[in-house]
Amino acid sequence: MATDTPSEAGFGEVSRVRGIVFEYLSLGASVAGLLALGILLVYVAVDAFDLANASPEWLLTYFLTLVVPYLGFCLYSVGDPTVTRRAVAALGGGLVAVAGLFVGIETFVSPIPRLNWPVAYLFVVVIPLTAYLTYVGNQGRVGAVGLGLIGRAVGGAAVGLAVGTLFLVFDQFVWFLAYTFGVFPAVALYVYARRSPSSRAATAAPVVGVVGILLAVFARETISTYPSDLLIFLWTIAIPVAVVGERLVTARGGRTAGLLAGGVPLALAVAGGFLAGTVGLPGPDILVVVALVGTAVAVYLQRVIEDGEGLAGLALPVLLVAGPLVGALVVGAWGVPAPDPWLDVGFLTEAPSRNAVEAGLYPAIVGSVIIIAIVAVLSFALGVGTAVFLEEYTAETGLVGTLTRILQINIANLAAIPSVVYGLLGLGLFANLLGLGFGTALTVSLTLSLLILPITIVSAQEAIRSVPDEFRRGSDAMGATRWQTTKNVVLPEAMPGILTGTILALGRAIGETAPLIMVGAATTVFSAPNSLFSKFSAMPMQIYAWADFPQPEFRYGVVAAGVMTLLVVLIGMNGTAILLRNRAERGS
C-alpha cells in the first residue's frame, strides 16, 4: 500500500508515510504542550496545598473516605460492569505503574524534587480518572441529578458571594432606592401588562424604570436614613429571587410546591442572616448566599422529584460532606500528621502580611472581582455594539465600504499591541486627562476594557458573520425591519460565538499585570476597596509582589496559593460563561 508506484488500473496510489508522520507530529506537539502545562500546575498545586508534606496515611484516609465513595457513585450512575472493571484496573494498575516508574526514576536517574509517589499517583491516575468518571457519570441519570444539584449549590453560592463583593464598592443605598422606585414598579407594570393585555402599561414600564432610577440617584443625596443592610438585601435580592423560584415551580408543580420552593429558602435565609448578624458574621452576605443557593436547589429538587428519575443522585451532597468529615475524624483519632496548606480560609479572608503564614489575598480578590465585573459589562456592550454596527449597518461598497475595511484592519492590528502600551494610554487618558485617578477601579477597568476590546470586536464580528445570510433574507421577506432582524435573528444565532470570544478575552484581562503597573494600581492594599475611586490592587499584582519577597516561604508557598486562587476564579468565571453559552446554543 505504502508506495508511490501507480497501479495498473489507472487509480494512482499515494504514499501514506507523510500523512502518518504528520499525525504523530501533531500528537507530539499537543502532548508536549499539555505535559509542560500539566507539570507546572502539579507543582503549583503541590506547593499551594503543601502536598509534599502530606503523609501517605493522610492521603490514604481521604482517598478511602472521599475519593472512593465518589468514584463508586459515578460508577453506579454509569451502571456498566465494563466501565467499573476498567476503572478498578486503572486504579490498581496505575498504582503499580506509577509507584514502579517513580521509584525507578528516583533510583536510576535522579531524585524528583518535592514529589513522592503517592502524590504522583494522585495527579497522574486519580485526578484524571475522577474527571473522566465524572464526565461519564454525568451521562447517567443518577449522576446528572447529583452533579446538577452540586452545580446549583456551588453556582448559587458563587453568585451570592460575587453580589456581596460588588456591594463593597457600589452604594447599596442607591441600589435600594433604584430598586424601590425604578426596578420594582417597572417589573410590576410589565407583569401586569402581560396579564391583562393593555399596551399602555407595557410601554410605560421602561419609562417608569428610568424615571425611578434617576429619582433614586437624586433622592440618595437627601435621604439619610435607610433600613439595615439585611433588610435592603432581603427586599431587593432575596424576595425577588424567592418570587422567581416560586413562579417557576408553581408553573410546573402547582401552588403548594411553589410556595414551599419560594418560602422555605427565604425563611432559612432570613433566619440565617439574622442569626449570623447576632454572632458577628456578615449577616447580609449570608442572607444573599442562602437565598440564592436555597432557591436554586429548591427549584431543582422539585423538578427532579417531579420527574421521579435518578433520585439516588440526591445523595451525592451527603456523600461529599460526610466523606471529609469522616476523614477528619479518622485523621484526628489516629493522630495522622496533616499537611498545612497555604491555600486555606485565612488566605482568602485576610489582608496581606509580612509573615508568610498570615498572608492573605482578600483585598486583591475583591479588587479583581470588581474590576472583572466592570470590564465584562463594558467590553461586552462596546464590543458587541461595534461588531453589530460594522457587520449589519455599514455599507460594503463605495467610500464607506473602504473606510470600514480600513477600520477593520486597524482593529485587528490593535489586538496585537502589547499591553504596556494600553497601560500608557490608560495612564494618559483616564488617569491624567479625565482625572479618574491613579490606580482606581474605574481607571483600571476602562484600561483593561480597551485592552480586550479588539479581541471582543473581532470575535463578535466572526460570530455575526457566520450567521447564514438566508436567515436575514428570510426575516426581511417577512417584513421585519433591520432592527427586528438583528434583535430576533442575528444576535440570538451569534450569541454562543460572541460569548466564547468574550470569555477568552476576559481570561486575558484578569491575568494582566503590565497595564495595571502603568496606571498605578497598588501593589499591596490592606483593606478591601470601598468605592470605585479607592486604590485597587488585583490578584496578579499581589502575586507578582510576593514572588519578589526575600523569604522562601513566600516564593514557594504563598505565591502558589495565590496562583491557585487566580486559577479557580478564572475557571469559575469561564465555567459560568460556558454554561450561559451552552444554554444559548440549546435555545437557538
- One-letter identity of residue 352: P
- Surface-to-core class of residue 47, CB atoms within 10 Å of its CB (0-12 exposed, 13-18 middle, 19+ buried): buried
Q: Does 391 bind other proteins (CB under 8 A)?
A: no
Cα separations (Å) of 307 from 17, 58, 74, 311, 314? 54, 41, 20, 9, 13
State in angstroms the smallest separation of the CB of 452 from other proteins.
24
- Joined grid coordinates for residue 425: 494610554
Question: What x/- string results for residues 184 through 203 when contact with other proteins is judged by CB under 8 A?
Answer: -----------x--------
Within 34-93, the residues that bind other proteins by CB under 8 A are none
Cβ atoms within 10 Å, residue 102 = 19
Q: Does 234 bind other proteins (CB under 8 A)?
A: yes
Cβ atoms within 10 Å, residue 79 = 13
Q: Does 522 bind other proteins (CB under 8 A)?
A: yes
Q: Does 246 bind other proteins (CB under 8 A)?
A: yes
Using the rule CB under 8 A, which residue among 118, 265, 294, 520 binds other proteins? Answer: 520
Question: What is the sign, positive or negative, of the torsion defined by CA atoms of 125, 131, 135, 138?
Answer: positive
Measured between alpha carbons, how far is 547 from 59 in angstroms, rounded to an integer? Answer: 29
Which CB sits closer to other proteins, 86 or 555?
555
Instruction: State the Rg of the chain over Cα.
Output: 28
Q: Does 284 bind other proteins (CB under 8 A)?
A: yes
Measured between alpha carbons, how far is 350 from 357 in angstroms, rounded to an integer? Answer: 11
Q: Does 285 bind other proteins (CB under 8 A)?
A: yes
Q: Does 250 bind other proteins (CB under 8 A)?
A: yes
Q: Does 547 bind other proteins (CB under 8 A)?
A: yes
Spatial neighbors of 371 by CB under 8 A, at least 6 apart, are 441, 444, 445, 448, 509, 510, 536, 538
Q: Does 530 bind other proteins (CB under 8 A)?
A: yes
Measured between alpha carbons, how far is 54 from 564 in angstroms, rounded to an integer? Answer: 18
Q: How many chain residues interact with other proteins (CB under 8 A)?
A: 59
Q: Does 537 bind other proteins (CB under 8 A)?
A: yes
Q: Does 498 bind other proteins (CB under 8 A)?
A: no
Q: Does 271 bind other proteins (CB under 8 A)?
A: no
Q: Does 513 bind other proteins (CB under 8 A)?
A: no
Using the rule CB under 8 A, which residue among 27, 31, 88, 223 binds other proteins? Answer: 223
Stretch of residues binding other proteins (CB under 8 A), selected from 52-60, 339-347, 485-493, 534-542: 534-542
Question: What x/- string results for residues 312 through 351 when contact with other proteins is judged by CB under 8 A?
Answer: ---------------------------------------x
Which CB sits closer to other proteins, 506 or 563?
563
Using the rule CB under 8 A, which residue among 81, 280, 435, 587 binds other proteins? Answer: 280
CA angle 381, 391, 389 (to 5 degrees): 45
Nearest one of 264, 304, 306 to 146, comparing CA atoms:
304
Which CB sits closer to other proteins, 356 or 509?
356
Residue 548 sits at φ, ψ, to 5 deg, of -105, 5
State the residue for C-alpha cell 417577512: 478
Which CB sits closer to other proteins, 383 or 439?
439
Using the rule CB under 8 A, which residue among 479, 550, 586, 587 binds other proteins? Answer: 550
Q: Does 226 bind other proteins (CB under 8 A)?
A: yes
Stretch of residues binding other proteins (CB under 8 A), selected from 33-41, 66-74, 246-254, 413-421: 246-254
- Joined grid coordinates for residue 548: 519578589
Which residues are 440's β-sheet partners? 535
CA angle 371, 373, 375 (to 5 degrees): 65
Which CB sits closer to other proteins, 101 or 259?
259
Contact indicator for 99, 121 with CB cutoff of 8 Å: yes
Measured between alpha carbons, how far is 218 from 102 in angstroms, rounded to an integer? Answer: 68
- One-letter identity of residue 68: V
Q: Does 443 bind other proteins (CB under 8 A)?
A: no
Provide the binding-site residues for other proteins, judged by CB under 8 A. Answer: 168, 172-173, 195, 220, 223-231, 234-235, 239, 243, 246-247, 250, 255, 258-259, 266, 280, 282-285, 351-355, 438-439, 517, 520-527, 529-530, 534-535, 537, 545, 547-552, 555
